[in-house]
Structures are given as structure tokens and as C-alpha cells.
Amino acid sequence: MNLLDAALRCAAMRDWVAVSHCLLVLGANPYGVDEEGRTAFNHAASNGLKALAVLTQAAFVDTQKARKRRRWIGYGLNTPSGVYGSTLITYAAKVCDVATVRAMIAAGADIRIVNGSGWSLLHCAAVMPGRADVIKSLLRAFEEQGYGYLISVRTTRIYETSYGAHKVTYTEGLSAAGLCRARLEQDPASPEDLKEYSSYLTE
């Protein structure tokens, strides 16, 4: 087991942003997996959203370098990783600013990605705070690239998670709008932003 990679997964899970950054500098690999196949990205996506943004941004910057200068050569912009087969734009849709999401799209990120939980990019953004501009950009990109069907694509699996003390169960067959509504109904501490999303997310 690579100790730096294990330390990064631990730091990401606890949302230790500064520690995560330092471990990356020291050579930790965010794509390194634990015994369950979970990467630092996976651990951060569950608990450490600020750390996830740091990992995602660092990995994206790496994909844009000349191949001989890259740190994680086996992982390009559209390479799936971890237990859910997500790509970098999957994580960016959840936590990165709209400029980063647009930069990924301009760099050739495949916006058709649907991860192992059956979530599209729109699903990933629809339950997170501060995603209004990201959602609007994704909707525009879907239409411009001819993937309008993704606006109403449905989840294919049941997914259970917790936000703080509140457990939320997302059933299969939910659109991004339905996913947003499910969190609002089950999580009394849902971000206020989610109420706004419902005005432009369609079934």
C-alpha cells in the first residue's frame, strides 16, 4: 500500500484541504485506490467537498500539460476512475466553479458521462449548493452538442447518502429535477439554492 496515497484518501475524506494540497505536492496520487477500489476523489465526494475541488483542479491542470510533463499519465480528461467510473468533469459538476467546468468542456470533456450510480453531470450538480451557473452551463452545452436527451435522463440505481445528520435515499428513475426535489423533501437542512434550481430543471 502506498502510504502517501492512503494519507491523501484520509485527508480528502476529512476535508483537510491544506493537508490534501501538501500531500499532492509530495507526490500522492489522487487516483490511487484502497481495498474497495475507492480513490481520494471518491472519499472526498462523500465528505470533503472543498478537498474534492482541490483534487479535481489539480488533476485537470495535469491533463492539460504535455504528456512528458504530466504526473498521472494514465489518466486523461475523460478517463474513468474509482468504483463509480467517474471522470473529472463528474466531480467538477459537484464542486468546482463554473469557469473550471467551462474550461473542461472547452478542453474536450465528454459531457455524456453517466457514472456507476446512474448519475449524469446534471444529476451531480442538482443536489449541491452554489450550482446555478454550472447547471445553466451544462444545459447550454447539452443543447449545443446535441445531447438534449441528457436533460431528462433518469438514474438507474438506488443511492443512499447522508448530509450531516440527515440521511437521503435517491430512488432509481429520477431526473435531475426529481433528484433535487428528493433532497429538498428529505433533508431539512438542504441548501436554499436547490429551490431555485427547480425553476429551470425540467422532468
pLDDT in tens, 29-42: 999 999 999 999 99
Q: Which of 62, 84, 110 delimits the end of a domain?
A: 110
8 and 106 belong to one structural domain: yes
End position of a domain, from candidates 75, 110, 145: 110
Whether residue 102 sits in one domain with residue 17: yes
Sequential DSSP letters for 75-99: --TT--BTTTTB-HHHHHHHHS-HH
Residue 1's pLDDT is 63
Residue 26: partners with Cβ closer than 8 Å, 6 or more residues away: 4
The pLDDT score that the predictor gives to residue 163 is: 83
Average pLDDT, the chain: 93
Quick one: pLDDT band at residue 107, thresholds 50, 70, 90?
very high
Tally of domains in the chain = 2
* Cα 1 from chain centre: 25
Degrees to nearest 5, angle at CA 15 with 154 and 171:
20
DSSP reduced 3-state for 152: coil
Gap between the Cα atoms of 117 and 157, Å rounded = 6
Residues 152, 186 within the same domain: yes
pLDDT per position as a tens digit, 168-191: 999 999 999 999 999 999 999 998
Distance in angstroms (rounded) separating the CA atoms of residues 142 and 191: 25
Average pLDDT estimate for 50-64? 97
pLDDT digits (tens, 9 = 90+) for 141-159: 999 999 999 888 999 899 8
Same domain, 5 and 98: yes
Given a cut of 90, whether residue 162 has pLDDT beyond it is: no
Among candidate residues 110, 136, 161, the one where a domain is terminated: 110
Instruction: Please give the average per-residue pLDDT across 50-77, as a whole number.
Output: 96
